[in-house]
Amino acid sequence: MKSDFTEADFRARLTELGLTLDAKAFAAAWAGAQHLRGEVAKVQTYLTKPE
Amino acid sequence: MTDPADLSLPEAAAMLRSGTLTSRALTEAVLDRIAALNPRLHAFTHIAADALTQADRADAMLQAEDPGPLCGLPVAVKDLIDVAGQPATSGSRVLAGRIAEADAQAIARLRAQGAVLIGKVATYEFAMVGPDLTLPDPPARNPWNPAHITGGSSSGSAAAVAGGLIRLAIGTDTGGSIRSPAAYCGSVGLKPTYDRTSRAGAFPLSPSLDHTGPLAATVEEAALALDAMTESASWRPASSRIGQPITGLKIAYARDWFADDPQASPALIRAMDEAASTLSLLGAQIALVTLPDYAPYEAAASIILHAEALEEHRALIRDHAADYGRPTLQCLAFGAAIDTDDVAQARKAQTHLTAQMLQAMDGHDLILTATTLMPALPFSAFDGEKAVWTPMRTIPFNLTGQPALSLPAGFENGLPLGLQLVARKGDEDLLCMAGHAFERATDHSAHRPSL
């Protein structure tokens, strides 16, 4: 997945899943998605430099 | 005379065999206890209509043969795991009305050994997230203070055991779902080695991280239950070293994993230091160690968990999105932010991280660390739209597949705290030996909430 994963990308992925969220639910899901992208970055950093 | 509902599993098993107790009388006592306390705790979501018939069958089995230590003993099962003829909704409207046609494989083992499958206990929806106050079943409540959560996702299992409704409940653990509610409620929770127990017939959350295992009132009871659930005789029985001295056992105390986190409560840190001291006084050799950094473990496991959860729910989401609880659906949606390359990287990290953890255990038999970093939060903390994550130190051992045991370690403001012992794969006997010794040397597990 491209590193600059955007809100529009996320919306498109949810549409592919057939998932429509109201504004509040989307905001919460997007916050979680960003957190998860942060976890992806942590794994990439770890693999670049394993302890 | 002791109420049969308060007998430990070994005590009840001995009385069943001496003829001083029947499974029917024991099951009736447990049913009475559930009827009295469940309205306050919401731990049970279903009581088996055939519980007494099962008990009668167990009494007959005990006359003819001895199918194992759990024969005739009541067991509760998390509503994520199928029990034939009982509701199986995974705590969700999505599966409302579903009745399991067959036992999950681990449950079939218990039934074959004569256990009385007395009913189903609450779960966070699909073992994903909670508490969710909008679901049809009210969330289970912490027996020590019903204004507080139980933790999850084996919420009803922990509440039922800690509340004294039953001695043993079966749960599942994908990121800490046996151990964290055990810690929050003051019961024992044992996540076995990956693949030691069957997951077949439990609704999957993340198959490569999912485990089934027991929550029980004591370590010995958890060990007996795990032995009954274990798939193959090639595993050393978890109960085989219960009662043996722990002199010389080498325990790596991973204090930095929790004490360096600003979220860790001072009472938890004190309780953990006291636990290390107690284990030392019992003859264990305690060494302060620095484990590999926690963050990559949590990161890799989260990626795998969310990717697999979304795959498991893809078809259901398409057809039943409106039936999901809002927090669960939002949480499942997170998985749309990752792709197969991300998962491949996480699995590569998993291999490295598992090797690193084993390397850190070199020269040690067990790891000692915290289960959760604070006692259970109040329900009021979950009122808003924002997700609330409760800090814990459990998910690394779902990633590495190592067995881990949570047991009571003290209290803060009247709410339980839990410690966690971790072993190498297959070393549940060492884990339970150490946990049992600690339990016997302290009174943390002896306290019961006044309900």
Asked if residue A1 is part of any domain, the answer here is no
**Is the Cβ pair A50, B352 closer than 8 Å?**
yes
pLDDT at B385: 67
Chain B residue with minimum CA distance to A20: B321
Judge: domain B4-295+342-441, CATH 1.20.120.1200: no
Burial class (CB in 10 A: 0-12, 13-18, 19+), B314: middle
CA B201 to chain CA centroid, Å, is 17
Pairwise CA distance, residues B367 & B273, whole Å: 14
Domain for residue A18, yes or no?
A: yes
Q: Residue A40: list chain B partners with CB under 8 A.
A: 299, 303, 338, 342, 345-346
What integer best gives the mean pLDDT of chain A?
90
Q: Inform me whether the C-beta atom of residue B331 falls under 8 Å from chain A C-beta atoms.
A: yes
Distance from C-alpha of B348 to C-alpha of B375, rounded to nearest angstrom: 34
Most B-contacting residue of A19, A21, A51 (CB-CB within 10 A), to test interface? A19
Backbone φ and ψ of B282, nearest 5°: -80, -5
C-alpha to C-alpha distances, B3 to A10, B29, B58, B148, B328, nearest whole angstrom: 57, 7, 20, 28, 40
Q: pLDDT by residue (tens digit) across B204-240? A: 999 999 999 999 999 999 999 999 999 899 999 999 9
The per-residue pLDDT for range B289-316, each reduced to its tens digit, is: 999 999 999 999 999 999 999 999 999 9
pLDDT of res. B16: 97
* Residue A2 is assigned to a structural domain of this protein: no
Q: Among all chains, which residue has been given the structure tokens 């009581």?
A: B47
Peptide bond preceding B153: is omega within 30 degrees of 0, i.e. cis?
Answer: yes
Tell me: cis bond preceding B131? Omega within 30 of 0 counts: yes
Which residues of chain B, if any, have pLDDT below 50? Answer: none
ipTM for the whole complex: 0.94
**Residue B18 falls in the annotated catalytic set:** no
Are A36 and B306 a contacting pair at CB < 8 A? yes
pLDDT score at B241: 98
In a domain? residue A36: yes
C-alpha–C-alpha distance, residues B218 and B161, integer Å: 10
Minimum-distance CB partner of B336 among A13, A24, A44: A13
Q: For residue A17, tell me if it sits in a domain.
A: yes
Residue from B177, B180, B206, B445 carrying the catalytic annotation: B177
Which tokens hold the place of B327?
């927090």
At B138, list the tokens: 């009210």
Out of B90, B92, B153, B157, the active site residue is: B153
**Residue B109 CA from chain centroid, whole number:** 18
- The structural domain count of chain A equals 1
Containing structural domain, residue A24: 7-48
Contact A1 B338 (CB under 8 A): yes
Helix (H) or strand (E) holding B316: helix B294-320
